[in-house]
Structures are given as C-alpha cells and as structure tokens.
Structure 1
Amino acid sequence: MKKILFFLLLALFAQAASAQYSAVRINALAMATGTLNAGIDVTVSGKWSVDVSGYWNPISTDNLRMKVLGAVVGVRRWRFEPHVGLFWGLHSALAQYRVGNGRKRYNGWTVGIGSSIGYSWLLARRWNFSVEGGLALHYMDDTRWNPRSSPTEDIHLRHCRRLVLAPAKLEASFSYMF
C-alpha cells in the first residue's frame, strides 16, 4: 500500500512540472462484470506516463463468488504523445481473491508482471476512449475446495502455488483528461 501511495504522489508531483494532461478513467469491460474500478494516468515526460488502477468486486452469492480486490501499477510509452494513439506498457499487479461457483472455490492472492499494447482515440477535447490488452506472468497462492460436499464426505482442501502465463489486461476505457 505504501508503494502505491509513493507512485501516486510521484505521479502527482511530476504532473505539476508538466503541461501535459492527466487522465482519470473507468474500464467499461470491468464494470460490465460488476467490478468497481478507477484509474489515473499521469504524464511524466513527453512520451511516458504512469498508470495506477484499482479494482474491487463485492459479488458473493450461494452459487457465484467473485470477491476481488486488486491494484495495477504500470508505465506506458506513447508512440507520439500521451493519451493519443498507439502505446505499449509494462505493469505489475497485486490482487486478493475469493472466487468460484457451486462446484469449486478458490481463496488466495496473486502477484504478477506483464506487458500490454493499446490504442487511444481522442473523442473530444477532454474525453478519450482506449482499448488495451496484454499478458502477464502471475505467481498464484490459493486454497481450493468443493463447497457442496456431501455430509458423509470430508471437505477436501488443496493448497496450490503456481506460475501462470495468462491474459492480464483487457480494457475498454473512457477517460476524462484534465
């Protein structure tokens, strides 16, 4: 948490020295799954920006559980200028999760590092739309179990640690620049 605050303060101080825009964004794809999210992208030089995003999903029912709390911190390298056109990025992610359905549940945490590529379109003077996709290598540490075992069975807990190469960023976001 201290590192996230440090990066956020660093980005805000860098913004004070720059005449470029900062952007606050909402990921529409994450919102479609019920995940509350917000991010800030702050320009730190002519072609570089720092990106900080947070995600929280509180959904928990008997048959579906999607409790996720996560943060992503990264840098973006823009092709021409920040917040317009093609960009690529490097990011790191940290998340705690409790997900599953009626047959299998997972409770644990993950940390990962990856890269992404995207494109941003300027819709109006202060609004833009961007898409981004990427891959990351994640270390996952979780416990798996069957929530609906019969009364005569013991609950079988299985602790797993693994490395997973998986899609990490899938974003279609609207941004307001200031």
Structure 2
Amino acid sequence: MMKQMFILAMMLLATSGTATAQDVALKTNLLGWATTSLNAGVEIGIAEKQTAQLFATINPWEFSGGKKVRFWNVEPEYRWWTCQRFGGSFFGVHALAGEYNIKNVDLPFGTLPKTKRGRHYEGWYIGAGVTYGYQWLLSRHWNMEASIGVGYAYSPYKLYGRCAKCLDDTHRNYVGPTKAALSMIYIF
C-alpha cells in the first residue's frame, strides 16, 4: 500500500506542470523525529494563495521493555493562505490513513483503550480533519512551520494477548487531535 501511495504522489508531482520559485517545498516534522519517526513531505503551490501537501511518516522500531509503536501514515492536505503561500497563516483540510502495531504503550487522548502488559493492538485507520498553521520565513530558502489539526478517524483493530491469541476484534471512532507539526522547510 505504501508503495502505491508513493507512486501516486510521484505521478501527481510529475504532472503538476513546471515548477518555478516558491512553488515547491520539501519538509520534515521535527516533532516526528523526536519520537524516532522517519518523515518527509512535499508541498506544491497550486494557485496564488493555495498549496497542496503530501506527507508520509513511518516508525519501524521496537524499543526496550517490549514496547512497540510501529506504524505508517500518509496525509494529503489542501491549504489556503491568508496572505501569500509559504508565509504567514494558513487553514487546511487534511485526510489521513495508515496502519499500526502498538504494544506496551498507552497512547494520549484516548486514541486506543489502555491494555495490560503483554497485549498489543494491530489495526488501520482512515480519517479527515481541519488544520491551522503558521510559517515563518527564516531566509530565502528556509522556513519554519507550526501547525495543529483536529478531526475524526475510523479505526478497526484487533487486540492480541499472549501467544498471539485474538482477544477482541472491534473498532474505534476517534475525535481529537489528528496532527501536530513543527517543521523545517526548504523552498525551491
């Protein structure tokens, strides 16, 4: 699935026309790196005050103490800027989709119910939300961005016990924060 999303993103970029100054930005979320999550995104100017972004995150690691927060996430977003694109305030609409495998970690905001040690969740999710953010111009090519998003996600999952025995097969309707970013951006 991740391979197909990457190919689709590259096809969209290839057919988006000729890129000129202030039309394309590469970015990474520093908050994601703080949680050991590999992440990168591309944002393209589509009109005077509009951009489209595609962001991807993956965390393939296992941690000491039997802790695991393995996941991948893709997040396309449309943004409308109040003054000019790639500078100042913006409002956005985003979608999100991904898969997860979480063990011995309690997630914030009631994302998944708390569980006993040794049990783990496996599932996927799809959702959408709204975003507000601000970009600061640091230099000709570098910007810093802060953004926050809230929304809804639907997530079917299975709860496994010891010996990989499935204890529960249900779903979760989540409403709350769907993104938080403090990003470094390079603008071409």
Structure 1 residue ranges without an equivalent (≥5) = none
Shift of 1:145: 2.9
Q: Is the 8 A contact 1:14 1:43 kept in 2?
A: no
The aligned runs of 1:140-155 (5 Å cut-off) are 140-147=155-162, 155=165
Report the equivalent of 1:138: 153
Structure 2 residue ranges without an equivalent (≥5) = 105-116
Per-residue deviation, residues 7-40 of structure 1 (Å, max 9, x unmatched): 5433443351655331100100000000000000
TM-score, normalization: structure 2? Answer: 0.83
1:33 aligns with one of 26, 35, 43: 35
CA distance 1:81–1:56, shift in 2 (3 Å): same
May I ask how many residue pairs the two structures share in their alignment? Answer: 173
Report the equivalent of 2:136: 121
In the alignment, the residues of structure 2 paired with residue 132 and residue 138 of structure 1 have an alpha-carbon distance, to the nearest angstrom, of 18
Tell me which amino acid in the other structure corresponds to 2:33.
Answer: M
The aligned runs of 1:7-22 (5 Å cut-off) are 7-16=9-18, 19-22=21-24
Report the equivalent of 1:52: 54
Tell me which amino acid in the other structure corresponds to 1:74.
Answer: E
In the alignment, the residues of structure 2 paired with residue 35 and residue 128 of structure 1 have an alpha-carbon distance, to the nearest angstrom, of 21
In the alignment, the residues of structure 2 paired with residue 66 and residue 103 of structure 1 have an alpha-carbon distance, to the nearest angstrom, of 13
Q: Is the 8 A contact 2:24 2:44 kept in 1?
A: yes
Shift of 1:163: 1.4
Identity rate of aligned residues, in percent?
27
TM-score, normalization: structure 1? Answer: 0.88
Q: Is the 8 A contact 2:22 2:86 kept in 1?
A: no
1:166 aligns with one of 176, 179, 184: 176
In the alignment, the residues of structure 2 paired with residue 32 and residue 69 of structure 1 have an alpha-carbon distance, to the nearest angstrom, of 16
> 54-63 or 111-120, which moves further after superposition?
54-63
